[in-house]
Each structure stands twice: as structure tokens, then as C-alpha cells.
A and B are shown apart, each in its own frame.
Chain A
């Protein structure tokens, strides 16, 4: 066995394994999963066909607290907090305009049934109907991004806390439509009862 090979076998491979585990990174079909050391929250990330997409677990208590801090009534925060929420960051990393419509995205159930995702417009219609003029926090419905543009907001799925879900994301660049299915996403767990 050569010297370089023994270095790799004895030193590098175990160290890389340790780093891989300690950084909480794992790659599943182009989807990188990481876990925040401090909070234990999970992130999923893809970079594909000009789209950089990150999904981050959002615990219901965080939603309640942040909406309360904005002075929003409990019925607004509860309606969101009782859903499976992912903080979503969408970034155009292509060299062309990129667009998406949340109305095209799907929550894919275990039996293959595809459900639409409640859009920002639908949330705002509810909130404005309640006299709440808050227009933020939910991921934008149907933006078109120029090069380097990015956005963040909540994606809300009708699924229980702690459950596993599959999300189908669709986007368009230069008239070409792309889709990616992110399986085995975990909704943030329900808060522990005292």
C-alpha cells in the first residue's frame, strides 16, 4: 500500500465521515439535507436548472410568536401555525429570467394524489376579509426573477406537524418548464406539551 493511499485510508476517510455527520449534511437525489446544530431544524436544498431552492422547517410556536409580534390576531397565526410550514428561499442562479407559480406546485400524497398548495393570494384574501392588511410572510405567488433575484416566504401544506410530505416544485426558464420532486420532507414537529 502506498503512502498516499494509507493517508487516505487511515486519516482522510474517517475525518471526512466525521465532518459529514457533524455538519448534518446528506445528499438524496440532488437534495441536500442539513440539520442546524443549535435548533435541530432541518433544511433541504436543491440547485438545479437555474433554480436554487431551500426549504426550512418552521415550528408552529415560531409562527405564533412572530405573528403575535406583528400584532396579528390569533385566528391569523393559528390558521398558518396548524399547517406544515416550510420557510422557502427561491433564488434565480441562472443567466436568464426565471418564473414560478405556486399554483403549479403540488403536495403529493403517499397514494400519488396531487393537492394544490394554498397560495399567497388565497391567504391574503382571507386575511383582508378579516380586516387584516398584513401582506407578507407567505411566499410570493407568481414572481418573475431577473438574474440574481431571490425571495423568501412560507410555503404552507395541509399536513400534520411531524409528518413526512412530498413537494413537487415547478419553474420556468426561457419558456422551458422544469420540475423537481422533493420527497421525505419532514414537517416541523408539534410543540412538546408541558
Chain B
């Protein structure tokens, strides 16, 4: 509040070229603030040649078991994540929006949590602005992420209907970006 008052006072006493310079300075301040939270990006990279996705069976939040085989015939966005990972938290709402948009057409999102307790994850998802409705599975000892050679969190794979890994993204993304949606469309 104090800063904006100061700027307003400066601008009030400036003539036109001076006001333009003040605006440039204001934009500089804004750019510093924005730089602290860089955009997530949206590029998913092709996996060539496509690899067969390793199978797995893991429990969900209620202890019910799910296998990758259960999703055969669907396009699967397979996301490895944890609540303590900031980009994982940032990208999750965009996965939910993508899921809501394409689930009826055959996309499923499967979020495979690493090392954490279902109670902790349940509490976390309740605090998200957009609560996930896609399956969250628990890979408590990271054995599945090892088979997928996940180097860091988050890592996301896009699997085609035949269970082949077609695209990969290491690091957080905005998944409801038109370019990602175009990839989904190409696989559906």
C-alpha cells in the first residue's frame, strides 16, 4: 500500500515523458515479482520409439487396488508426484481441468504418489482449489517410479490406448494448454 501511494505521488507530479518513465519503472518492479514464479511451460516431448509402459498394481486412497491394465483402451496421463514438491502442487489443478474436459472421450489421469501416507495426501487434496477426481495411487517404496526411470518429481508420461509411452515431461507443466490438448486429441 505504501509503495503504491509513493508511485501515485510521483506520477501526480510528473509531466507526460516523466510519467512514461515512471511506467517503465513500474513494469520493471512487476517483472521482478513475476520472475519469482516462472511459468510452468507446456511442452511434452515425444518418446521415440514409443516404449511399452511397465505394468503395475497399486492401492488408491481407500486401499482399492488398480492396475495399469485396467486403463487399457484409454489414453493415460501417468503422473509421478508428491505433496512436498512445489511444481507437483502447481500443475495438479491443470491435470484436473484436462481430465474433466476429456474423460468422457477416453482420457484418464493417474497420479502416482511417492512415499507418502494416504491420510496426508487426502488432507492435501482437500486444500487444493480444484480437488482431483482422477485416481491417486500410492507407490510407497517408489518401486513403480524406478521401473519408469523417474529421475525427479513431477514426471509425467502420456500413454496411448495400446499402453505405449508416447510423450514425456520432466518438471511441472500446465496440462490444459492447447498444445497438450492437441497431443491428447491425436491419441484419442
Whether B181 is near chain A, meaning CB under 8 Å from some CB there, is no
- The distance in angstroms between the C-alpha atoms of A135 and B141, with both chains bound, is 8
- The number of residues on chain B lying at the interface, defined by a beta carbon within 8 Å of a beta carbon of chain A, is 34
What residues of B have a CB within 8 angstroms of the CB of A143 in the complex? 151-152, 170
B52 adjacent to chain A (CB < 8 Å)? no
| Interface flags, A141-156, vs B, CB<8A=1, else 0 | 1010111111111000
Check if A70 sits within 8 Å of B170, measured CB to CB. Answer: no
A141's closest neighbor in chain B, by CB?
B151
- Please provide the chain B residues from 173 to 188 with a CB less than 8 Å away from any CB of chain A in the complex: none
Q: Are the CB atoms of B142 and A15 closer together than 8 Å? A: no
Inter-chain contact B21/A12, CB cutoff 8 Å: yes
Q: In this assembly, does A23 line the interface, its C-beta being within 8 Å of a C-beta of chain B?
A: yes
Q: Does A91 contact B (CB under 8 A)?
A: yes
Count A-B pairs with CB separation below 8 Å: 83
Range of interface residues on A (Cβ < 8 Å): 20 to 34
Whether A7 and B115, one on each chain, are in contact in the complex, defined by CB atoms closer than 8 angstroms, is no
Collect the chain B residues with CB atoms within 8 Å of residue A152's CB. 85-87, 152, 171
User: Which one of B29, B41, B171 contacts A19 once the chains associate, using CB atoms below 8 Å?
Assistant: B29
Indicate with 1 or 0, residue by residue over A125-146, a CB within 8 angstroms of chain B CB atoms: 0000000011110011101011
Select B18's contact among A7, A66, A71, beta carbons within 8 Å: A7
Q: List the B residue with the shortest CB-CB distance to A91.
A: B171
Chain A hits for B32, CB < 8 A:
19, 23, 25
Residues in B neighbouring A91, C-beta threshold 8 A: 171
Residue of A nearest to B141 (CB): A133
Q: Is A70 touching B116 in the complex (CB atoms < 8 A)?
A: yes
Give the contacting residue for B171; candidates A23, A135, A139, A149; CB below 8 A: A149
Is the CB of A11 closer than 8 A to any CB of chain B? Answer: yes
Write out, one digit per residue, whether chain B residues 132-145 have a CB within 8 A of any chain A CB (1) or not (0): 00000000111001
The answer, yes or no, to whether A4 is at the interface (CB within 8 Å) is: yes
Of residues A4, A16, A70, which shows the largest number of chain B Cβ atoms within 10 Å of its Cβ?
A70
Closest Cβ–Cβ distance, residue A86 to chain B (whole Å): 15
Report, nearest first, the 7 A-B pairs whose CB atoms are least far apart. A146-B45, A150-B171, A148-B43, A151-B152, A140-B151, A149-B170, A133-B141
Show 25 residue pairs from A and B whose CB-CB distance is below 8 angstroms, ordered by the A residue.
Answer: A4-B17, A12-B21, A12-B25, A16-B25, A16-B28, A23-B29, A70-B84, A70-B115, A135-B115, A135-B146, A136-B114, A136-B115, A136-B152, A136-B153, A139-B152, A143-B151, A147-B45, A148-B43, A149-B45, A149-B169, A150-B171, A151-B151, A151-B171, A152-B85, A152-B171
**A-B contact sample (14 more), CB < 8 A, given A135-B145, A149-B169, A150-B172:** A7-B21, A11-B21, A12-B25, A23-B32, A135-B115, A135-B142, A141-B151, A148-B41, A148-B43, A149-B45, A150-B171, A151-B151, A151-B171, A152-B87
